[in-house]
Amino acid sequence: MLHFLAQAELYLPILMQGVYLTILVTLGGFTLATVLGLVLAFMRVSGFRSLSAISRVFVIVVRGIPALVTLFYIYFVFPDLGLSLSAVQAAILGLGIAYSPYMAEVFRSGIEAIDHGQSEAALSIGMGWGMVMRRVILPQAIKVALPPYGSTMVMLLKDSSLASTITVADLSLQGKLLASSTFENTTIFTLVAILYLAMSLPLTALNGWLEKSLRQPR
């Protein structure tokens, strides 16, 4: 135990350099996935067959491709098409695209869980579709969508380690490089696991607090 603590004090500052990039990639990818997911969900429930079909095809295709392949395609193939991105930019874009279908399904399920009679009543009194979504449907849909939404964010945090495959020096890559140079595999990867857990637990706690707050009567 004393050996572990002594080694942890030595290696933690190096690993913390990767924590910054892990958080950056996670927040960037999650924001992009949320925006794309909302757009896809709105397209799916818009009532326009063409938009609904485009959204459905996008979700099926992207969800059927591993996130790792998406990252590789953006980082290695896009330059051949004239679009060169940095490793961090490619990681954010790739994870955002890869997770957008899951976000779309989360939002769609939340929207469709609301009684259609409410939207019909709102439309009958002169509300437009946008106002109905903003004032009637979405406030209720959030309560339904929040648990899987929070879980998806935790999953994306863990999958941000895939960014190391395209040379992003995140926590997982820093751990791998450090372990290969020091051979302190047990200590280093234990620290890596603890750091990922330390980042995941606040997200889980925040999600639980929001769920509890939204369930309280106002």
Distance, in Å, from the CA atom of 189 to the CA atom of 164, rounded to the nearest integer, reads 15
**Position 29 pLDDT exceeds 90:** yes
| CB-CB neighbours of 74 under 10 Å | 22
**Position 124 pLDDT exceeds 80:** no
Torsion, Cα 4 19 71 52, to 10 degrees, reads: 120
SS3 for 109-159, per residue? HHHHCCCHHHHHHHHHCCCCHHHHHHHHHHHHHHHHHHHHHHHHHHHHHHH
Q: Position 210: which residue type?
A: L
Distance, in Å, from the CA atom of 163 to the CA atom of 92, rounded to the nearest integer, reads 9
Q: What is the pLDDT, as a whole number, of residue 79?
A: 92
Q: How large is the average pLDDT for residues 22-29?
A: 95
Please give the residue that has the higher pLDDT: either 64 or 139: 64
Q: What is the pLDDT, as a whole number, of residue 30?
A: 95
Mean pLDDT of the chain: 87
**Position 198 pLDDT exceeds 80:** yes
**Position 143 pLDDT exceeds 70:** yes
Read off the tokens for 123: 């439309």
Q: How much is the pTM?
A: 0.86
User: What percent of the chain shows pLDDT beyond 90?
Assistant: 48
Residues 170 and 195: beta-carbon distance below 8 Å: no
Lowest mean pLDDT among 50-64, 110-124, 145-159, 163-177: 110-124
pLDDT band at 21 (very low <50, low <70, confident <90, very high): very high
Distance, in Å, from the CA atom of 164 to the CA atom of 152, rounded to the nearest integer, reads 20
Please give the residue that has the higher pLDDT: either 1 or 109: 109
Q: What is the pLDDT, as a whole number, of residue 111?
A: 82
Burial string for 155-187 (b: 16+ CB within 10 Å, else e) reads ebbebbbbbbebebbbbbbbbbebbeeeebeeb
Q: Which parts of 46-86 fold into alpha helices (H)?
A: 49-63, 67-72
**Which of 208, 86, 209, 98 shows the shortest CA–CA distance to 156?**
98
**Position 127 pLDDT exceeds 90:** no
**Position 13 pLDDT exceeds 60:** yes
**Which of 160, 188, 177, 180 shows the shortest CA–CA distance to 19?**
160
Q: What is the pLDDT, as a whole number, of residue 214?
A: 67
**Position 216 pLDDT exceeds 70:** no
